[in-house]
Structures are given as structure tokens and as C-alpha cells.
């Protein structure tokens, strides 16, 4: 049997502990000493793994969002029709939100921090580009397969991504106002209805044609 990677296990424990500290105190209010106290490791060992708070923040981001990144990257090669895969993506987003609900406070701390922290902003830029591109590829596959009309795949992918983020944000503001699961499912269904190819030729011009003036 291979020996477990003790170093990686300890690193994960530190990241989890830091996430708890940041959830309670916020990024500005938390210190490396707070993380030392939460983890029980020495300060020297903490700095051996992470050079500072920014390095820990980057590790937490990677931990929280890696599953969605991996899933989105594999979306274009997944089985099923384009419609089925986009519905499945919506269900995966719902499941991921449920699993990460205890980290919701820190997730929105990250969103606020993105305005003033280049590390966080750069991470989210990369994350959303991957997410949008994954959806876009599936939409373009659907267009080629005759499932969808000749729509602007980028605009639709951004709209779908925005619907996920918007449903979550409204739910955080007032859970009584928005049922996040139902809202995400409805948003996916409405977008799919809007782009599905109906019987016969589509006489309307695509967004690409309208922008080019043709």
C-alpha cells in the first residue's frame, strides 16, 4: 500500500482551518496568528506551507472552485445531447451550492475582495472565462447538430452563467424571495427554449448577422 502524503494532508487541514477563520472574522479581520491558533500548528510550519494570507486565499479559492472548473472543462466531451448536458450542468451547480453552503459567507467575501485584491480578481477572471467557454462549446455543438438556432454562443453562455450567479445572490439577500434550485432550473429551461431550433427554417437573423449589418 502506498504511504499517505502527510504533507498534502496537513496542507489541506490548514486550508480548511483558514477558511473557518476567514468565515468568522473576514479577510481583513483575520491574522496569521488566528490561523495558527485554529490549526494548532507552529507559526514556522504555517509559513513553510504558505508565505502569507494571499497564498492561503489562493489555496482556498482553488479548493472551492476546482470541482466546477473540472466539470465545465469536460462538458463538451460528456455524453448526451447539448440540451441534456446544459440541464445536467444546472443540476451540478445546484448540488455544488448545497455542498458548499457552509462556505457561502467566505465565497461572498471573495467576491467583495476581488475589487481590491489582484490575486482574487485574476482567479475569478480565469474561472468565469473557463465556465463561459465550457457552456459556449456545448451551445456550438448544439447548433451544428441542429438542436439550437444560429445564436451567439458567447452571449447565451454569459446569460446562463449570469442566471446562476444572480439566483444565488438573490437567495443570499432573501431566501424567502428566491428558491435557488427552482430558479436555476427555470433559468436553464427558459434559455434552452429560447435557442432551440423549431421546425422549418428560422427566418430571423442571428445576433452575429445583426451586429455585422447583414
* Residues 144, 176 within the same domain: yes
Residue 6: which pLDDT band, with cuts at 50, 70 and 90? low
Structural domain of 11: 1-51
Single out the residue of 115, 199, 191 nearest to residue 157, CA to CA: 191
Residues 1 and 93 in one domain: no
User: Do residue 8 and residue 114 come from a single domain?
Assistant: no
Q: Which residue has the cell 485554529?
A: 38
Question: Do 46 and 73 reside in the same domain of the chain?
Answer: no
pLDDT tens, position by position, 174-203: 888 888 899 999 999 999 999 998 863 343
For residue 109, give the H/E element and its range.
helix 104-113
Point out which residues pair with 196 in neighbouring strands.
148
CATH number of the domain that 175 lies in? 1.10.357.10
Averaged pLDDT of the chain: 85
Q: Specify whether the CB–CB gap between 15 and 59 falls below 8 A.
A: yes
In the predicted model, is pLDDT for residue 169 greater than 90?
no
Q: Identify any residues that bridge with 148 across adjacent strands, giving them in sequence order.
A: 196
DSSP SS3 for 148: strand
Number of domains the chain contains: 2
DSSP 196: B
Given pLDDT bands bounded at 50, 70 and 90, which one contains residue 214? very low
Q: How many CB atoms lie within 10 A of CB 52?
A: 10
- Within-domain flag for 107: yes
- CA dist., res. 121 & res. 127, Å (int): 10
Is the domain of 67 the same as that of 37?
Answer: no
In this prediction, residue 203 carries a pLDDT of 36
d(Cα 137, Cα 149) in Å, to the nearest integer? Answer: 14
Tens-digit pLDDT profile for residues 83-115: 999 999 999 999 888 877 777 778 888 888 888
Amino acid at each position: 500500500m502506498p504511504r499517505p502524503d502527510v504533507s498534502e494532508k496537513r496542507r489541506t487541514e490548514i486550508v480548511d482551518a483558514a477558511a473557518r477563520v476567514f468565515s468568522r472574522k473576514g479577510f481583513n479581520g483575520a491574522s496569521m496568528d488566528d490561523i495558527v491558533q485554529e490549526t494548532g500548528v507552529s507559526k514556522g510550519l504555517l509559513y513553510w506551507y504558505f508565505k502569507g494570507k494571499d497564498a492561503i486565499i489562493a489555496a482556498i479559492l482553488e479548493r472551492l472552485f476546482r470541482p466546477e472548473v473540472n466539470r465545465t472543462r469536460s462538458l463538451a466531451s460528456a455524453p448526451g445531447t447539448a440540451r441534456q448536458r446544459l440541464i445536467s450542468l444546472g443540476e451540478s451547480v445546484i448540488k455544488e451550492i448545497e455542498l458548499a453552503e457552509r462556505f457561502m459567507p467566505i465565497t461572498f467575501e471573495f467576491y467583495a475582495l476581488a475589487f481590491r485584491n489582484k490575486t482574487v480578481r485574476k482567479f475569478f477572471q480565469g474561472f468565469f472565462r473557463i465556465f463561459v467557454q465550457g457552456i459556449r462549446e456545448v451551445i456550438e455543438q448544439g447548433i451544428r447538430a441542429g438542436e439550437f438556432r444560429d445564436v451567439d454562443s458567447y452571449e447565451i453562455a454569459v446569460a446562463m452563467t449570469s442566471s446562476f450567479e444572480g439566483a444565488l445572490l438573490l437567495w443570499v439577500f432573501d431566501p424567502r424571495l428566491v428558491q435557488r434550485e427552482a430558479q436555476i432550473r427555470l433559468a436553464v429551461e427558459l434559455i434552452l427554449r429560447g435557442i432551440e431550433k423549431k421546425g422549418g427554417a428560422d427566418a430571423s437573423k442571428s445576433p452575429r448577422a445583426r451586429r455585422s449589418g447583414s
